[in-house]
């Protein structure tokens, strides 16, 4: 298999007061020209936000921003008029389009652990949009859950020819990777998995093109980004 293993220890680790974050790709003050994203996937930030802190109101435009809350509850407020709570097992997709301002605050007494994911859209200057679903793969393990995609079969619609799927796979179980696009990027949240001859542990990700199969070396949770071929 022709593959690239993105090791967890090669992520950018930034601790700034209330925020402890690991950047899979260059972001903010952390820059590495080797890690600028994969295809249309630009950002995976693994954030731990201290109690009673968070991201104050700030703007975005022309970006699909997906949030996966792993532990705790984050409070969302935006310029579209949405005020929502996103708890562990829930996902939020904010399509920034022509422009939106939002805040993501931890108003609770314990830290929030979440992933923030940015994907470039294939439509520019569209109307901003907000979507939110509950999908906890721990409740239905050993299968893929389609979180976002461009077609009606996806729980949330993304403005890009890409799908984001998640799964919890119990030890020694298998799960097929049968792509709809051209580029696979599997990011492991917890546990350890085997893809062909590659062991991929928590915080690692594997980039590959072929259809394949995932074997859980222990109980594991991961996200599969099914992405279009990168444009030169």
Whether residue 12 has pLDDT greater than 60:
yes
**pLDDT at position 230:** 73
* pLDDT exceeds cutoff 80 at 222: yes
Mean pLDDT over residues 204-218, rounded? 97
46 contacts: CB under 8 Å, gap ≥ 6: 11, 21, 22, 23, 24, 113, 115, 203
Query: DSSP string covering 24-88, please?
Result: SS-BTTB--TT-S-BTTEEEEEEEEE-TTEEEEEEEE-S-EEEEEEEESEEEEEETTS-EEEEET
pLDDT, mean of residues 144-156 = 97
**pLDDT at residue 105, rounded to an integer:** 97
The third-level CATH classification (topology) of the domain covering 3-227 is Jelly Rolls (2.60.120)
Average pLDDT, the chain: 97
Residue 1 confidence (pLDDT): 84
* pLDDT at site 231: 64
**pLDDT category of residue 32 using cuts at 50, 70 and 90:** very high
Domain boundaries, the chain: 3-227
CA distance 111 to 151: 35
Show the tokens assigned to 41.
Answer: 């996937």
Q: Which of 68, 112, 72, 71 is nearest to 90 (CA)?
A: 68
């Amino acid at each position: 298999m022709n593959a690239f293993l993105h090791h967890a220890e090669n992520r950018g680790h930034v601790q700034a007061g209330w925020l402890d974050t690991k950047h899979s790709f260059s972001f903010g003050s952390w820059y590495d020209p080797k890690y600028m994203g994969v295809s249309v996937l630009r950002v995976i930030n693994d954030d731990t936000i201290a109690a009673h802190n968070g991201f104050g109101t700030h703007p975005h435009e022309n970006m699909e921003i997906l949030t996966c809350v792993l532990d705790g509850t984050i409070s969302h407020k935006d310029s579209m008029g949405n005020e929502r709570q996103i708890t562990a097992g829930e996902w939020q997709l904010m399509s920034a389009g022509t422009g939106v301002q939002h805040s993501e605050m931890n108003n609770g007494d314990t830290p929030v652990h979440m992933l923030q994911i940015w994907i470039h859209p294939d439509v520019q200057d569209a109307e901003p949009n907000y979507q939110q679903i509950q999908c906890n793969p721990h409740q239905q393990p050993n299968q893929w859950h389609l979180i976002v995609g461009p077609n009606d079969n996806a729980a949330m619609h993304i403005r890009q020819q890409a799908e984001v799927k998640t799964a919890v796979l119990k030890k020694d179980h298998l799960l097929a990777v049968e792509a709809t696009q051209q580029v696979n990027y599997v990011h492991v949240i917890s546990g350890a998995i085997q893809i062909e001859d590659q062991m991929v542990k928590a915080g690692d990700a594997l980039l590959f093109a072929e259809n394949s199969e995932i074997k859980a070396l222990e109980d594991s949770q991961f996200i599969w980004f099914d992405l279009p071929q990168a444009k030169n």
